Structure 1
Amino acid sequence: MPPLPVNLQRIKSDILALAEIGRDPVDHGIYRMAFTDADMEGKRWLTDQIEAAGLTHSTDGAANISTKIEGVSDAPEILVGSHIDTVPCAGALDGTLGVIVGLECLRCIREAGLSLERSIELVAFSDEEGRFGGMFGSQSVCGEVNPEKLATMTDMNGVRLEDELRRHGLDPMGALDAARNPESIEGYLELHIEQGPVLDRIGKPVGIVDEITGLFTWSVRFKGEANHAGTTPMDMRNDAFMGLADFAHEIPRILDENGSDRSRATIGKAQILPGATNTVPGLVEFSLDVRDTSENVLDELSTAFRKALSAIARRRHLMFEFQQKSYIAPVQCSGKMIEVLTRQSRLLGLDSNTMPSGAAHDAQIMGRMVPVGMIFVPSKGGQSHSPSEWTAWKDIEAGANLMLNTLIQLAN
């Protein structure tokens, strides 16, 4: 059987239509954060497209939207999906592309009248982007949500997830019923923009993900002594900012000695207090985001960063403390999925690149429960989480064709 092609014009139309929901006319960014009115409008748009394709849809207790092509057997099904919620001032493709391409794959299979052994189900997960902590939809499917967690999930403005769900007529406790039986799922496949520069720079149309990075984030404080900038000699200062400066310069050494070529460490946010131009800083608070595809490497980096912070604090006569804000374990993609994706890319004449994912995705959560695979398509200039985010249509078509024909093979 020759490869089945997607309809690129339908994909284009869907991407451009959904991009208008939550679009700001001033900065041109998309504001479709989880469980906002715009997000719920986006969910309604998606169900309309599913119905227009002649498919049925359902919504679980976590507000995940699903539709499927039924297989002829009751064998475990193949899941495909991503998310349509966004960060503030987002681009048109992050998450959305995987949902739209997944729907296009089901449309193509239905129109071709293919008989599949296994069912293929599309899932559009809720709150991947983290308004309420992230991955709420896929965590619910994996049974990782409990009543205590539901009761304590809030956004940065203190809005409770429970209240937001009720505002839209949803029962928060329904998320507990969204959990799936792992034995009912053969595997999960996700298509996503790379959100980095690698594929764009090497000129390859698709990436096949072998590992999804794990990460931990810390909130760190150096406490010294605020004092007068003019009257306190340099050798008598307990300058909290100098502790941060020393630590920032230690990061490359720590990665070289304890990390791997897939390690990343970032200080993305810092606050200097009291924040006056004529005062020696007495307190510095900053974030530390550390990533690697190996759990052992993450453990080694955690130890090395703690030792470095402690040594700097002693040397600078500071106190330091840290709090781990999050931890996500790395996930290995399924060897079978990688093999099928690699074979299909060759059959389609696509030059693929095997690579890690440096960002977290719903596939990372699903990978705790079932085998997973991921397809990347290039991000122009490596840009994402901004209105500049874009992927060439020919690359979107290539990734979509790879997704479609891989799903057909996996389902048979």
Structure 2
Amino acid sequence: MTINFERLKANINELAQIGKQEDGGIYRMAFTPKEYEARAWLENQLCQGNIDCHWDGALNIIGRIADDKNEKQPAILIGSHIDTVPNAGALDGALGVLVGLECLTRIKEEKLTTKFPLELLAFSDEEGRFGGMFGSRAVSGQLNPGILEESIDLDGQALVDVLKDLGHDPYQALDASRPNETVKCYLELHIEQGPVLDVEDLSVGIVSDITGLFKWQVQLTGAANHAGTTPMDLRKDAFMGLADFAHEIPRIIDENGSEASRLTVGNATLYPGSANTVPGKVEFSIDARDVNPEVLKELKTACRKTLSAIARRRGLQFDFTEVSVIEPVACDDHIQKSIEKQAKKLNQRYKIMPSGAAHDAQMMAKIAPIGMIFVPSKNGISHSPHEWTDWHHIEQGANLMLNTLIELSQND
């Protein structure tokens, strides 16, 4: 079977207009008027396809196909998200939802018999206005009242207040949790958000693992002093501590990491920030990633030991706060093989590869086996108006998802 590519293409172009501004970027952040406009658009598409549609307590949009014979069976879920970061491109998240919509629509049109119900999920707030992956965390039972009450966006708006203003009881998000026995598996198609498939001229990627990560906010404190009168050997220069650590990153990965390891200092602030003052304090971030939880632990230990040693040598004080931790997950071997089998049938050039970015699938792995398909990102660009995937690669990825979904839905 093949998708209706012209319909999928039209849907991609239509949804991309919702929230688009003069700078070319899409601004469709979670729970904003433009995101609600996109929700209404998606609901209308589901209705046109005669697919039952409802919202759960976490404001996830759910489209469902079921019949009398399979109604009580666990469902096969396919999804992603339609919210965006500010100044976004057209495909991150949205492509996975639209491909899922097209798959369910084609199965409905062909009146295919499936052993399991099929559901499309458009998860709420994946991109992180209130922390990220809100909808998938809710479905997978990883929310609690404390998380709801502590979630605040960058403008200081509280999640509970925003949901109340929209007419929703925020605590109903806790009711969105799905028992494991109601979900057979979860599938997601996504742009790679990296350059590998594009550089290697491949059509699709079959995801083997999704990276875990930890994020730290680090503080090195020394002594601010005059840049002209303080001898170099008498300084407690906080910036030099950061510089030392930056030079140690390759060694840390060589000794404690793997080929999948990533270690990044993404932002730094010097205090007092004067050109003629030795920095007395520096605050900076560390983002560390790997697909192996044991490697992540080793990276964490190595970072802490390295920073402690630098602080002692430089006469600095070292403190850090662990901002977030996400555990890595492996994609299900059976689902991987099903995707690979269909890729071969479709004569597609593919690669089995890890994901260096986090996805809703990572949360869903708590309650069900997962599988992911990547399509290439031109020049590896994502979260940008320049984000794009060639149409023929989108078509191939969608056809691969459709045929994998059919196989999984017709076999025990």
User: What TM-score bracket applies, with the shorter chain setting the length?
Assistant: over 0.9
Counterpart of 1:348, as a letter, is L
**Match runs of 1:90-105 below 5 Å:** 90-105=88-103
**Match runs of 1:96-245 below 5 Å:** 96-245=94-243
- Which residue pairs with 1:369 in the alignment? 367
Alignment of 1:12 with 2:23, yes or no, is no
**Match runs of 1:309-324 below 5 Å:** 309-324=307-322
Is the 1:212–1:357 Cα contact (8 Å) retained in structure 2?
Answer: yes
Is the 1:331–1:368 Cα contact (8 Å) retained in structure 2?
Answer: no
Q: Which runs of 4+ in 1 moved over 4 A?
A: none
Is the 2:52–2:65 Cα contact (8 Å) retained in structure 1?
Answer: no
Distance 1:29 1:342 in 2: 35
Displacement of 1:146 after TM fit? 1.1
Counterpart of 1:18, as a letter, is L
Displacement of 1:40 after TM fit? 1.2
Pick aligned residue for 2:60 from 60, 64, 67: 64
Counterpart of 1:300, as a letter, is E
Partner SS, residue 86 of structure 2: coil
Please, which runs of 5 or more residues in structure 1 have no aligned partner?
none
Q: TM-score, normalised by structure 2?
A: 0.98
Alignment of 1:355 with 2:387, yes or no, is no
Distance 1:86 1:48 in 2: 20
Displacement of 1:75 after TM fit? 2.3
Pick aligned residue for 1:394 from 381, 384, 392: 392
**Match runs of 1:28-47 below 5 Å:** 28-47=24-43
Alignment of 1:81 with 2:76, yes or no, is no
Distance 2:34 2:292 in 1: 37
Distance 1:37 1:229 in 2: 51
Distance 1:149 1:130 in 2: 13
Displacement of 1:157 after TM fit? 1.6
Is the 2:268–2:283 Cα contact (8 Å) retained in structure 1?
Answer: yes
Counterpart of 2:402, as a letter, is L
Distance 2:282 2:94 in 1: 38
Deviations 1:211-253 (A, max 9, x none): 0000000000000100000000101100000000000000010
Partner SS, residue 28 of structure 1: coil
Partner SS, residue 247 of structure 1: helix
Deviations 1:10-51 (A, max 9, x none): 1111111111111111x2111111111111111111101111
Partner SS, residue 250 of structure 2: helix
Distance 1:224 1:301 in 2: 25
Pick aligned residue for 1:23 from 15, 20, 25: 20
- Which residue pairs with 1:307 in the alignment? 305
Distance 1:225 1:76 in 2: 61
Distance 1:42 1:161 in 2: 20
Distance 1:111 1:143 in 2: 34
Deviations 1:111-133 (A, max 9, x none): 11111111110000001111100
Displacement of 1:166 after TM fit? 1.3
Distance 1:24 1:219 in 2: 33
Displacement of 1:135 after TM fit? 0.6
Distance 1:149 1:388 in 2: 34
Identity %: 58
Q: TM-score, normalised by structure 1?
A: 0.98
Distance 2:313 2:27 in 1: 46
Is the 2:224–2:280 Cα contact (8 Å) retained in structure 1?
Answer: yes
Counterpart of 1:248, as a letter, is A
Is the 2:55–2:62 Cα contact (8 Å) retained in structure 1?
Answer: yes
Distance 2:5 2:388 in 1: 16
Displacement of 1:147 after TM fit? 1.1
Partner SS, residue 277 of structure 1: coil
Count of equivalent residues: 408
Pick aligned residue for 1:55 from 43, 46, 51: 51
Partner SS, residue 156 of structure 2: coil
